Structure 1
Amino acid sequence: MAQSTNLSNNPAPLLSRPWNEKVVLVQVLVGIFLYVNCLMICTFFKKEAFRTDTRYILFAQTLFMDSALMVFTDLALIGSYFQIPVPCIPCVIMCTIMAWLTLGTPLTLVAMCLERYVAICMPLRHASISTTRTRLLGLVLTWCLSAIPALIVFFIFTSSVPLSFFSTYLICTVEMMIVHNWQAQIKAVLYNLYFVIMSITIGFTYVKITAAAKGASKNNKSASKGLRTVVLHAFQLLLCLIQLLCPYIEMAIMKIDYMLFINVRYYNFIMFVLAPRCLSPLIYGLRDAKFLLILRYYAICGLNKKGYCCKFCPLHAKNEKIWPLNGK
């Protein structure tokens, strides 16, 4: 463990390393990702109609979790690349938060699946089920369920290391919290359990939603659009669930070849951390007509009051077909 985390009682001198193309690419992708997410979060808070709709509330929570996770993982990546030693306690807190947020996104997406299942398959009961109390309970339950594995690992770690360990400096990585092999096995069992439960839930809801969408569609074009949305959503969830298994693959590779471990971790970060979280704005933001209309206004018309899209924006449109919510 000391070798993998570079423990020391005092902070080591900062190693100067040049920025390579991989690190620069990650910073560009993270910057674009955070800009789009922040713009969508601001759009969500601007309209009361979004703040009172369960689907948009869950979407906003996904954006918040994804953005926070991206900030923490990017900081960890930069610190690991430049070999920056940090105090143990902030590192432990950051790793625990990252583990918490990692499960938060797929669980929120599962909640969105269940909400869509109720809306499409039980439309007459949707209003009575999707209430303020139910939304609050769902949000709290999502945060609590995602925190269970992270807190278990945290308490096992804090009870397994001596107090002197917390005064050390180390290169902050998520592996530093795995002290014993049995600890890694407990974490793997928990993640596999979550993986199975979420997979079953997703499979059930999407089979039902797809069947309902096909039955309600009057033409092939509408059915095809619904199926494309389902495929994109399922692909995003699959990538998020695969991410839960990546640390164990990386730890096995690290024992064989360290440079191969670095390359595998980089590509896993791109494929299973960045990619699925870039799909959230595409599926729930850009493909939603109401949300896209408001987003386009704040992205373009907000900077150019006399621009082309201003006459179509919901703040100026008087046509109910353009904006049925009357700007609320």
Structure 2
Amino acid sequence: MNSTRRLDSLSEAFLKNFITFAIAIIINFINGTFVYTYFKSHVFQRDPRYVLYIHLVINDMIMLTTSVALQIITYTIPLKLAPCCILLLILATTNKNSPLNLAGMALERYIAVCKPLHHVQVCTVQRTYSFITLIWAVSLMPSLTDIIFLVATQPLSIFSRNVICYNSNIFSTKFHKTHREIVQGLLLCFVFLTVLITYLNVLWAARAASGLNQASARNARNTILLHGVQLLICMSTFVSPFINIMLVTAWPEKRTSILFTTYLVTGILPRLLSPLIYGIRDKTFSSHIRMLFCSSCYRAEKRVNPMGPQRRSKKVSH
């Protein structure tokens, strides 16, 4: 998509940036609601399950903000290679964080159902933060490798040049392409197998359990299945280049529109769907959201009408 931005007319460029910016503001506002609810309720901060969930939300907010900022910058001002590499580093790292975080959430549910006696010892908040740190380290290494290889093979003067900043344009050597394909393949296979194995184990546990344990196992099974759906949403970012090739080959005259549409569908909207589906489905989280915002609305009404509806009605009756 980025390589065709220079071909857009002024009105097309403005419309695309306005649409993307508006959608990003709405998505970050909704996701920010989940973050606000998490930090206002201490019960969530003591549960590893919600710690992983809110990390997923914050990670997607960072990814979305970086992606939209990169798009607007590319349209509006020249960008040097050095800051471009920093933005691409953040974007690539957060993009890899999402599926790894989903794998961690699936493992936490597996331990809670299949190893309940060990859950309290294994799944602590401190260990969850350590796991999140490990996720960032694992996701950061491939992107750092790309930049190190670029520095080693190119003169340092290229970092002061203006570039069109997108991943396949900056890291375009055969090494970068092969490295990218291997990392993405290993990452998705690892996460897919993790989600599949944990789902099957929880499924068997649900069949073997009875009473309340069976209900708990079924809830965990549905949660892990939801993680599988979230994984498919995350995978849409990785398969978008192949979708673009197929669609542009079929309709070459609509290339810019196709690339922009796939960018919205695979790069922007998943940042809302994944956290929103999980946040609304979780009864505890959704109830806390309602409590917080209903109480906020009540306090706002009290400030506007401190007498209250009953006293006001008595005054009218006189």
Which of the numbers 285, 290, 298 marks the counterpart of 1:296?
290
Write the distance in 2 (CA, Å) between the matches of 1:227 and 1:130: 18
The reply on whether 1:209 has 2:202 as its aligned counterpart is yes
AA matched with 1:28: A
Classify 1:226/1:25 alpha carbon distance in 2 versus 1 (closer, same or farther; 3 Å). Answer: farther
1:117 to 97, 110, 133: 110
Which structure shows the bigger proportion of residues in helix conformation?
2
CA offset digits 1:168-214 (Å, max 9, x no partner) = 12232222321312321111111111111111111101122233335
Deviation at 1:261, TM superposition (A): 5.2
- Deviations, residues 139-184 of structure 1 (Å, cap 9, x unaligned): 1111111112111112112222221111112232222321312321
Gap change, CA 1:306 and 1:97, over 3 Å in 2: closer
Residue 34 (structure 2) aligns with: 40
Deviation readout 1:58-99 (Å, 9 max, x if unpaired): 01110111000000111122234x353212211110011100
Q: TM-score, normalised by structure 1?
A: 0.78
* SS of corresponding position for 2:79: strand
Contact 2:97 2:139 (8 Å CA) reproduced: yes
Unaligned runs of 5+ in 2: 302-318
Say whether 1:278 aligns with 2:272.
Answer: yes
Report the Cα distance in structure 2 between the residues aligned to 1:187 and 1:37, rounded to whole angstroms: 29
Amino acid in structure 2 at the alignment position of 1:118: I
Which residue in 2 is equivalent to 1:157?
150
Query: Which residue of the partner structure matches residue 183 of structure 1?
Result: 176
Alignment of 1:75 with 2:69, yes or no, is yes
Counterpart of 2:96 in structure 1 is 103
Q: 1:91 to 1:306 in 2, by over 3 A?
A: closer
Aligned length: 298
Contact 1:210 1:230 in 2 (8 A): no
* Residues in 2 aligned to 1:89 and 1:306: alpha-carbon distance in whole angstroms: 47
The letter of the residue matching 1:271 is V
Letter in 1 for 2:80: P
TM-score normalized by the length of structure 2: 0.80
CA distance in 2: counterparts of 1:173 and 1:57, whole angstroms:
32
After superposition, the Cα gap between the structure-2 partners of 1:51 and 1:259, relative to the gap in structure 1 and judged at 3 Å, is: farther
Max radius of gyration: which structure?
2
SS at match of 1:157: helix
Unaligned runs of 5+ in 1: 7-11, 308-328
Aligned equivalents of 1:252 and 1:148: distance in 2? 31
Pair 1:66-2:60 in alignment: yes
Given residue 124 of structure 2, which amino acid in structure 1 is its aligned partner? T
- After superposition, the Cα gap between the structure-2 partners of 1:260 and 1:121, relative to the gap in structure 1 and judged at 3 Å, is farther
The Cα RMSD (Å) is: 3.3
- The CA distance in 2 between the partners of 1:5 and 1:83, in whole Å, is 14
CA spacing shift, 1:175–1:243, aligned 2, 3 Å: same
